[in-house]
Structures are given as structure tokens and as C-alpha cells.
Amino acid sequence: MANNQNFDTIAIHAGQAFDPTTGAVIPPIYQTSTYVQDGIGNLRGGYEYSRGGNPTRTVLETLLAALEGGKHGLSFASGLAAEDTILRAILQPGDHVVLGNDVYGGTHRLINKVHAAWSVQNTTVEMSDLTAVEAAIRPETKILWVETPSNPLMKISDIAALAEIAHRHGIVAIVDNTFASPALQHPLDFGADVVVHSTTKYLGGHSDVLGGALIINDDELYEKAQFLQFAAGPVSAPLDAWLTVRGIKTLSVRMERHCKNAQAIAEYLDGHPAIEQVFYPGLPGHPGHELAAKQMSGFGGMISVAFAGGAAAARLFAESMHLFQLAESLGGVESLVNYPSEMTHASVRGTELEVPDNIVRLSVGIEDVDDLIADLASALPRG
């Protein structure tokens, strides 16, 4: 693929040539576990066994790297499988991770519960406070884990400044780019070493497939992660990889609508008497607004809202809508509402990452915005 193509073209074509035998425009789902060898060790196209490689997965991995402007892509069964792989590719027992104090609950659980059993230590820190980040770094620190925008409070972290701190201390800067998607933000351009995705969200985009990704520039780190992908086997299945490729084709147009709808909804909710605060980086009053405008090309489709009436008001709202369906996850074409403190972030209750119980998170879909606002209005107390 020519490197001078623009994002919208890359999203539709990278890694995908028509099938040479049939002319099929769409690369097939290679639903196979193994490959015939023309004599022992004489492989056709390098494929031996689908844990090590599968042509449908190769399409997705090539596409993921191209979308992020990176050298290597790897695709996994879930976002957390991708995270686990990169953590184990870098960390040894005794090592230390610095991560944001409102990262995705599952990321914290993976590091704090699973990796902790192998003596991996961690410190959570306010990522917008660069002095605090620097102070949290120890001689054993190997990873700075950044999520921006963060989940669920939509905090924006300065990728370039954080990558600079990481590199000054010789540690790897990893950015979870799930909320922005590569349509809005390219962390590698700001100096990040590794990009992580839950492709379950915006990349897949249709709430019908789980997946995760790593995009890595450094050859040596890529080889370590690829070895673990092969040796431990958390790979994406062929059908899952194919569905994700299919979803990515419309990523740009979906993100445009997600951003437009979310902006209108954030403006509608901002200032409503039932609502104490709206967390959306597209609002000028959001503390990360200017930084987001600098490092992102749009403000995304995720909004969180704090209710003045506390937990009871938040719960009632979350359970009262029709178009916004009450469910975990995000980034699909359909709108969803989530009550983080008991749903997505239940695992961080009682920790420093606990989400206030008056917060409701909206994943704004691409439906008609007037219908979405009518649905929200029906669930809000009348003034």
C-alpha cells in the first residue's frame, strides 16, 4: 500500500487485495485451523497453524498497523488479552507500572489482581499532574500506562508530555486509544511506544464481536509480543477478525456522526437543573478541552453525567430510557447507557479508582439526534 494514502482510504483498503483466484473483492474468512505443507516445513504463504497465523487475521493486523501509522499490528481475542500480552512482554516479577487513576476498571483489575500475583507492583496517579507522574516513577518502573480520554470521567492526558517523561526514565509509554479510536487520535505520532485497543468498541463498531489490538513500532518489542501471542494463544478467531475488518471500513463516517450527536447531547444536558456536571471534552468548560482539540481531531462519542440528585437520580435515569439501552460496553452504532459504579467499574469499588455513584455514562450512537434527545428528556425530571 502506498504510504501517502489518507486515513479514509487506508481504513477501507489497507491489507486487502482482491482474491487472486476468484476476484472476490472481500478477503475471505479462512475458517481453518491448519495448512497443508508441500513437503515437510515447506509452507504456502508462511501459514502453518492458525494460532501462529491465519490469513484473515493477517488482513486485520496489517490494517490495524496502517490505521495507527505504526509498523506492526497484532490482533487478540479481547482488549484485555492484548493488554495481558503487552504487560507480560515487558514486565518481570518485581517490576512496577504507573497508570492513570481512572483507567478502565478491567485494566486496573488485570494489573492489580492478576499480575500482582507475579509480584508486579503498580501506582495509580492523576495523569494530568505531570509532577505527580514523575514522582510515581521508581527504578523498577517499566511501563507508563495512559488512557485518554479516560473511562468514565473523560479526562484528557497529554500524550506527548507523558511519552517524554517515560523516555527520559527509559520506560515504555503505552496508550489505550479505545475511546478516541484511530479516526480521532494517533498516539504514536505524539511519541507513544505502544497503542492498545479494545476493538470490541469503536473499531468493531456494531456490538457484535470482541477483540483487542496492539500496535508497536519497535521490532524487538513486537517480536516479544508476537511470540507470546503464538505461545499463549490469545488470538482472534477468523470470523471475529473478519467482522472487525468489516466494521473498520465505516469507522470514519461513524465517528463523524458519533462526535456530532455527542456534542449536541452534551450541550443539551449541560445546564439542565437535574445535572450537576457533564463530562465531555467537546464542551469549552471541560478542563481537557484545549488539549483534546490539539491532540484529537474530534471529541468522540462518550459522555458522562453527574446527577445532582445523587445515586437514586442517576439509577432512575439509567433505567428509564428506551433508545439508550442499559448495557455495558460502548462504541457501537446503537446508543447505550451504563451505571459505572455497579456495572463496568464494579471491580474498582473501594479503591482509589472508585467511580462516584451519581455518575451515568452514555455511549452516544449514530441514531437520529432528535430521537436521542427526546429519549433523554423523557428520563429527566421535569423542571
Ligand X SMILES: *Cc1c(COP(=O)(O)O)cnc(C)c1O
Q: Name the residue type at position 45.
A: G
Q: Which of 95, 158, 176, 240 is catalytic?
A: 176
Which position among 200, 229, 304, 338 is part of the footprint of ligand X (CB under 6 A)? 200
Q: Which stretch binds ligand X (CB under 6 A): 46-54, 57-65, 72-80, 303-311?
A: 72-80
Say whether residue 147 binds ligand X (CB under 6 A): yes
**Nine cell digits for residue 9:** 482510504
Q: Which stretch binds ligand X (CB under 6 A): 59-67, 194-202, 238-246, 316-324?
A: 194-202
Q: How many CB atoms lie within 10 A of CB 328?
A: 14
Say whether residue 226 binds ligand X (CB under 6 A): no
Which position among 80, 175, 243, 296 is part of the footprint of ligand X (CB under 6 A)? 80
Report the C-alpha gap between 299 and 307 in whole angstroms: 22
49 catalytic per annotation = no
Contact call for residues 88 and 227 (beta carbons, < 8 A): no
Which position among 53, 55, 100, 106 is part of the footprint of ligand X (CB under 6 A)? 106
Say whether residue 178 binds ligand X (CB under 6 A): yes
Q: 27 or 79, CB closer to ligand X?
A: 79
**Nine cell digits for residue 111:** 494489573
Report the C-alpha gap between 234 and 250 in whole angstroms: 26
201 catalytic per annotation = yes
Pairing mode of beta strands 141-147, 172-176: parallel
113 catalytic per annotation = no
Dihedral of the alpha carbons of 8, 10, 13, 16, in degrees to the nearest 10? -150
Q: Which of 30, 104, 202, 222 is catalytic?
A: 104
Helices (H), 213-309: 219-232, 238-248, 251-269, 289-295
Say whether residue 205 binds ligand X (CB under 6 A): no
Say whether residue 78 binds ligand X (CB under 6 A): yes
The DSSP line for 17-45 is: ---TTT--SSPP----SB---SSTT--ST
Report the C-alpha gap between 154 and 137 in whole angstroms: 24
**Nine cell digits for residue 222:** 513486537
Among 243, 249, 244, 242, smallest CA distance to 27 is for: 242
Q: 141 or 363, CB closer to ligand X?
A: 363
Say whether residue 176 binds ligand X (CB under 6 A): yes
Say whether residue 181 binds ligand X (CB under 6 A): no
Q: 252 or 344, CB closer to ligand X?
A: 344
**Nine cell digits for residue 169:** 526514565
Name the minimum Å distance from CB 80 to ligand X: 4
Say whether residue 151 binds ligand X (CB under 6 A): yes
Number of residues in contact with ligand X under rule CB under 6 A = 16
Q: 95 or 147, CB closer to ligand X?
A: 147
Residues that bind ligand X (CB under 6 A): 78-80, 104, 106-107, 147, 151, 176, 178-179, 198, 200-201, 210, 212
